[in-house]
Chain A
Amino acid sequence: MTEKLNVTIAVTGLNNTDNPGPGIPVIRGILESDKINARIIGLAYENQEPGIYLSDLVDKTYMIPYPSVGKEAYMNRILQIHKKDPIDLIIPNLDAELFTFMTSENVLKQNNIHTFLPTVKQFEERQKGNLQEYGEKYNIKVPKSISITSYTDIPRIDSEFDYPVLVKGKFYDAYIAYNPDQVVNHFNKISAKWGLPVIIQEFIRGTEVNVIALGDGEGETIAAVPMRKQYITDKGKAWSGVTLGDENLLNITNRLMRESKWKGGMELEMIKTVDNEYFLIEINPRIPAWVYLAVGAGQNIPEALVLLGMGQNVFPMKEYAVGKMFIRYSYDLIGDISDFEKISITGEL
Chain B
Amino acid sequence: MKLKKNIAVSESGFVFDPNSGESYSLNPTGREILNLLSEGKTGEDIKGLLMDKYDVNPSTFNLYFDDFVQMLRHYNLIESEE
Contact = CB atoms under 8 A, between A and B. Distances in A.
Nearest to B22: A228
Contacts of A207: 20
A323 interface: yes
Interface of A: 207, 209, 227-228, 230, 241-242, 244-246, 272, 322-323
B77 to A, nearest CB: 14
Nearest to A272: B20
Nearest to B21: A228
A322 B8 CA distance: 11
Given A245-B6, A323-B8, A228 B16 contact: no
A244 B20 CA distance: 7
A246 B16 contact: no
Interface of B: 6, 8, 16, 18-21, 23
Contacts of B23: 242
B20 to A, nearest CB: 7
Contacts, number: 25
Q: Which of B8, B19, B20, B21 has the most CB of A within 10 A?
A: B21
A309 B55 CA distance: 68
In order of increasing CB-CB distance, the 10 nearest A-B pairs are A228-B21, A245-B18, A322-B18, A242-B21, A244-B21, A246-B19, A323-B16, A323-B18, A245-B6, A244-B18
6 contacts: A207-B20, A242-B21, A244-B20, A245-B6, A245-B19, A272-B20
Contact of B19 (A227, A230, A241, A244): A244
Q: Which of A227, A230, A322 has the most CB of B within 10 A?
A: A322
Nearest to A207: B20
Contacts of A228: 20-21
Contacts of A230: 21
B60 to A, nearest CB: 32
Contacts of B8: 323
A323 B19 CA distance: 10
A207 to B, nearest CB: 7
A227 B23 CA distance: 14
A242 B16 CA distance: 10
A205 to B, nearest CB: 15
A195 B23 CA distance: 40
Contacts of A241: 21
A27 B21 CA distance: 27
Contacts of B20: 207, 228, 244, 246, 272
Nearest to B19: A246
A245 B8 CA distance: 12
Contacts of B6: 245, 322
A168 B81 CA distance: 42
A238 B31 CA distance: 31
B80 to A, nearest CB: 14
